[in-house]
Chain A
Amino acid sequence: GIQVEQSPPDLILQEGANSTLRCNFSDSVNNLQWFHQNPWGQLINLFYIPSGTKQNGRLSATTVATERYSLLYISSSQTTDSGVYFCAWKWAGNMLTFGGGTRLMVKP
C-alpha cells in the first residue's frame, strides 16, 4: 500500500509565528485529508484536499498529487493550535492510512 511520511516530526513555535508541515506519499494519491488531534486526544477534520489549495481562516493546505506531496500552512500560530497534525490517504470505502504525525507546540 501507499506509505505516508510527515515532516518535521516535532515543531516548537512562538505564538504568532508561521509554519509549514509536509506530507509525502510513496505514490500518487487522489484522496488526502488533514486532521488535528488536540492535546485532549480529540481528532478534528481540517481539510479534504485531493488537489489544489484550500483555506480556512489561518490554515491552508495545498496538494500536488502528481508530485506526491501535500503541505499544511499555519499562519499567526496560537497556543490552541498545539497538538498533533496528521495527514491521511483515503482509499476504497473511505478507509484512511495515516502518517506518523507532526507534534506542534505553540508557546505563549
Chain B
Amino acid sequence: NAGVTQTPKFRVLKTGQSMTLLCAQDMNHEYMYWYRQDPGMGLRLIHYSVGEGTTAKGEVPDGYNVSRLKKQNFLLGLESAAPSQTSVYFCASSYSLYGYTFGSGTRLTVV
C-alpha cells in the first residue's frame, strides 16, 4: 500500500517553462489537494478536488492549473513557471475529517 505518491521529487525549471506534477493515491480517497510550502512557513492550499472530474481553487491558485480525470490521480500544472513558484509542493488525500495523508513532496526550483 503506497499511500500518496508524488513525482518527480525534485525539479529545476527555467523561467517560462511548463511542467506537470503528478499525484497518485491508492486509498480510494474522494478528496485530493495540492499545497505549497515556502521556507519557514506553513502549507498553503493551491487547488483541491472533492471527487473525480471536479476541481476548485484554494488560497493561492494563480499560475497553476489542475485536473482530476481519474479518481486516483491529481495533476498540478505550471504553464509558465516564475521564480515566485520556487517551493516545496505537497499533495494530500483524505476520506473524512480524520484521514489526511500527505505525499513526500516535490522540491521545485525556478531559475
Contacts of B42 in A (CB 8 A): 4, 86, 88, 98-101
Contacts of A48 in B (CB 8 A): 97-98
For residue A96, CB closer than 8 A to chain B, the reply is yes
Known: A41-B88, A41-B105, A43-B90. A96 touches B41 (CB 8 A): no
Between A and B, how many residue pairs show CB distances below 8 Å?
A: 54
Minimum Cβ distance to chain A for residue B4 (Å): 10
For residue B109, CB closer than 8 A to chain A, the reply is no
For residue A19, CB closer than 8 A to chain B, the reply is no
Are B97 and A94 in contact, with the CB atoms below 8 A? yes
Nearest B residue to A84 via CB reads B42
For residue B74, CB closer than 8 A to chain A, the reply is no
Nearest A residue to B95 via CB reads A94
Number of interface residues, chain B, beta carbon within 8 A: 26
Contacts of A45 in B (CB 8 A): 98, 100-101
Nearest A residue to B45 via CB reads A95
For residue B64, CB closer than 8 A to chain A, the reply is no
Are B43 and A94 in contact, with the CB atoms below 8 A? no
For residue B50, CB closer than 8 A to chain A, the reply is yes
Q: Is the interface of A mostly helix, strand, loop or mixed?
A: strand
For residue B104, CB closer than 8 A to chain A, the reply is yes
Interface string of B1-45 (1 = CB under 8 A from A): 000000000000000000000000000000101010000111111
Q: Select one of B40, B58, B97, B104 contacting A42, CB under 8 A.
A: B104
Nearest B residue to A100 via CB reads B42
Minimum Cβ distance to chain B for residue A22 (Å): 15
Contacts of A93 in B (CB 8 A): 31, 48, 50, 56
For residue A77, CB closer than 8 A to chain B, the reply is no
Report the bound CA distance from A45 to B98 in whole Å: 9
Listed by A's residue number, 22 A-B pairs whose Cβ atoms lie within 8 Å are A4-B42, A31-B97, A42-B102, A42-B105, A43-B92, A43-B102, A44-B102, A86-B42, A88-B42, A88-B43, A93-B56, A94-B31, A94-B97, A95-B33, A95-B45, A95-B48, A96-B33, A96-B100, A98-B42, A98-B43, A99-B42, A101-B42
